[in-house]
Each structure stands twice: as C-alpha cells, then as structure tokens.
Chain A
Amino acid sequence: EVVLTQSPATLSLSPGDRATLSCKASQTISRYLAWFQQKPGQAPRLVIYDASDRATGIPDRFSGSGSGTDFTLTISSLAPEDFAVYYCQQRVNWPLTFGGGTKVEIK
C-alpha cells in the first residue's frame, strides 16, 4: 500500500499569504497524484490531477508540482474561500489511498 504523508497538519495563514502544502509518498507514483479541497459539510472537490493539471474551474492561484515521491500544492495568494482541508490521493497502486489532510486555517 502506498502511504501518503501530508505536512503540515495545520497551516495558519492570512488572506493574501502564500500556502505551500506537502505530500510525500512511501514509494514512487510517477506524476499520478491528485489534490482535493474539502470545506465543512461539503464533498471533496478535485483541485489538481496528474500532479500539476488544474481541474475544471480551479483558479490559477492553485498550482501543483512534483513527481516520484515528493509533491507540493501551492496557493499563491490565499482567497477567503480557500480556507479548507486539502487531501492528496494516488491510484497508481491499489488500494487507492489518501493522505491525512492539511487544514489551512485563518490566522
């Protein structure tokens, strides 16, 4: 099983700040990593797929990078609606796995 480790667990930032979230895989997964945003009471929403491709409707302040085992989600300038929990996910190997999540909270 591919274990995805996200850090930090919580990121306390202000609107306008840059957010950098990390996801590390226990074995190489090429570029097949996705990022999701989840707000309270809502379903997860796909933000980034294949490490760096933005999903439909996602603003360009969101960007993803990485390959192999180390991946990063960057939000260049946090908007009020970006405060949420973010999860990374892989399906190169079964079972599909998620990271434990990073909560981006208002400082």
Chain B
Amino acid sequence: EVQLLESGGGLVQPGGSLRLSCAASGFNFNNYAIHWVRQAPGKGLEWVSAISGDGDRAYYADSVKGRFTISRDNSKYTLYLQVSSLRADDTAVYYCAKEKGYSLDVWGQGTTVTVSS
C-alpha cells in the first residue's frame, strides 16, 4: 500500500525552527517528486514546496522562500522540510503529497505546527 506519514510538528515560539519529516512506503520513492502543502485552521489549501525525485530541483512558495528548506534522503525513503523563522501565520497542518503527472495522488495524514508564545 502506498503511504506517506508525516511527523515532527509541534508547538514552537515565533522565530523558532522545526524539522518536519515524511516517511514514504509502498512505491519507488526515487521516481517521484514530493510536495508539502499546508492548511491553516479553517482555511483552504496552500502549496508550500516541492522537490524532484532526484533531489536536484526544489521549488518554494514566495511566502516561505528563504525560511523553509526542502530536502530528501532517497536511501531512507524520507522527505524533510526544515522550517525556520516561524511566524504565527505559519500555523497549519502540514501535509506531504506524492506527485502524479500534474496532480497529487497520495497524501499523508498531516502534522500540526503551532507557532505561539
């Protein structure tokens, strides 16, 4: 079964950092780009970042550029998102999602990041 499982969320103070992880199973991880998408409480979906299957290309939303870094370890079938200089408006559920063509066909259950003092 194709699965993605996020972890690493939590409560962090403004200006703080976290590393989110996304563990993949059930498919050839190296062959697929993976995305991070977030959802603030009561709001819609916001794309955050993506990385190519080989890790050579990374893409970021303007709202997180310079503060977030996406990476992957294909030997561990794991995706990461280093989130830094966190602000209150970064509070959200963070999902990882596998790319299929031009869409996202498999999603994790999400990990919650709360930025508050």
Give A contacts to B, CB under 8 Å. Answer: 32, 34, 36, 38, 43-46, 49-50, 55-56, 87, 89-92, 94-101
Q: How far is the CB of B10 from chain A (nearest CB, A)?
A: 19
**Can you identify 27 A-B contacts, CB atoms within 8 angstroms?**
A32-B101, A32-B102, A34-B103, A36-B45, A38-B45, A43-B107, A43-B109, A44-B37, A44-B104, A46-B100, A46-B103, A46-B105, A46-B106, A49-B100, A49-B102, A50-B102, A50-B103, A89-B103, A91-B103, A92-B102, A95-B61, A95-B62, A96-B47, A98-B44, A98-B45, A99-B44, A100-B44
In contact, B102 and A34 (Cβ under 8 angstroms): yes
Least CB distance from A2 to B in Å reads 11
**Given the contacts A95-B47, A95-B59, A96-B35, A45 and B107 also touching, CB distance less than 8 Å:** yes
User: Which residues in B have some Cβ–Cβ distance to A below 8 Å?
Assistant: 35, 37, 44-47, 50, 59, 61-62, 95, 97, 99-110
Residues of B within 8 A of A56 (CB): 105
Chain B neighbourhood of A99, CB < 8 A:
44
Q: Taking chain A's interface residues, is the majority helix, strand, or loop, or is none over half, making it mixed?
A: loop
Inter-chain CA distance A88–B13, complex, in Å, is 33
Which A residues lie within 8 Å of B102 (CB)?
Answer: 32, 34, 49-50, 90-92
Most chain B CB within 10 A, of A91, A92, A94, A98, is at: A91
Closest 6 CB pairs of A and B: A34-B103, A32-B102, A49-B103, A43-B107, A96-B47, A98-B45
* Residue of chain A at shortest CB distance from B99: A91
